[in-house]
Structure 1
Amino acid sequence: MTPRGYGSAAAYCPRCAAALAAAPPTRCAGCGYELFLNPRPTGGLVVLDGARFLALRRAAEPGAGRWELPGGFCDGREHPADAAVREGREELGVEVVLGEFVGMYLGDYEWQGELLPVLDCFFLATLDGGEITLDPAESTGLRWFALADPPPLAFPTMDAAVAEVRRRRRG
């Protein structure tokens, strides 16, 4: 899937509205504006309880009904670590304590008919007490899974993050 508007003659410069000759990265022939398609950063959590991690069942597309890690897109100029803590609070209804950085993974996210590049940044985390209260717009359930036997997750970047945590725990 090509990002909508950038794969055809219907793609226009956001500065001067001239038709673009190619998909990003490209330069507008009309005004010289350079257009790029950069990945959107996210902050995600691998919430641990011993040798188990927390997964949520997605309520919405893409991937409704599949298991996922808590997290989401960064707000403008928000650090991925801050986004991970905010998303944990919003999706779980409790505070999380951020641990070490797991890694960054380049992936895709289909939204509004576009395939967006994302840069998923994952952090280890633990819950800071309280009872989990899921946001029903985000998740329909939760489950603790063994790191040694995870289910397929909604996005390959999440599978990679869990595999990295499992590798670190073995080593």
Structure 2
Amino acid sequence: MTTNAAHCPRCGSPLAAHPPTTCGICGYALFVNARPTASLIVLDGPPSQRVRFLALRRAMEPNAGLWETPGGFCDGWEHPREAALREGREELGVTVELGDFVGMYIGGYEFQGELLPVLDCFFLAWLPADRIQIDPGESLEYSWFPLVKAPKMAFSTMDSAIVDACARLTLSTLGH
């Protein structure tokens, strides 16, 4: 399952090759660009003792039933930091406080029969005193897991970001 454009999105002519390609009729250059996302690694406890993160159990495909970090696609022209805050409000029902940027990771997301490239941006975050109210359309439940013993996540980029967040927090705790 890959991104498969058979026709030019501008003029509708058949394309000679899969993207990246150029339409032989109108000259439109077609690329497969990664779609940006913003995700949160929500931590608990005081800064020096944040050893657990919040995970949501996915309610929908792809990878329904697996654990994930809160997050989603950025809207057009939306900065990933703003998307992370929006996703926190939508998925957790609270306004999260954003911390450091963890990193960007290239991954894939199955949507409408295509495997889309994504550029997943992860931020550390924590919750205010508000109570979590997950969106039942997106998540079945939530749980707190140790960063050092995270379960297998729904997407490999989440696994990588959690490992990097754990390393970052371990180094900052040790004073490096």
Post-superposition offset of 1:169 = 2.0
- For the residues of structure 2 that align with 1:135 and 1:62, how far apart are their CA atoms? 17
Say which structure is richer in helix: 2
- For the residues of structure 1 that align with 2:54 and 2:102, how far apart are their CA atoms? 15
Tell me how large the CA RMSD over aligned residues is: 0.7
Offset from partner CA, 1:87-127 (integer Å, 9 cap, x none): 01100001100001000000000011110000000000000
Structure 1 residues 7-156: aligned runs within 5 Å = 11-49=6-44, 50-156=50-156
Task: Structure 2 unaligned segments of length 5 or more: list them.
Answer: 45-49, 172-176
- For the residues of structure 2 that align with 1:66 and 1:83, how far apart are their CA atoms? 22
After the TM superposition, which parts of structure 1 deviate over 4 Å for at least 4 consecutive aligned residues? none
The normalised TM-score by structure 1 is 0.95
- For the residues of structure 1 that align with 2:148 and 2:66, how far apart are their CA atoms? 19
- For the residues of structure 2 that align with 1:58 and 1:26, how far apart are their CA atoms? 35
Post-superposition offset of 1:148 = 1.0
- Asked if the contact 1:109/1:118 (under 8 Å) is kept, the reply is yes
- For the residues of structure 1 that align with 2:69 and 2:127, how far apart are their CA atoms? 14
Task: Structure 1 unaligned segments of length 5 or more: list them.
Answer: none
Offset from partner CA, 1:36-66 (integer Å, 9 cap, x none): 0100000100000121000000000001000
Aligned-pair identity in percent equals 63
- Asked if the contact 1:94/1:129 (under 8 Å) is kept, the reply is no
Give the paired residue count.
166
What SS is found at the alignment partner of 2:148? coil
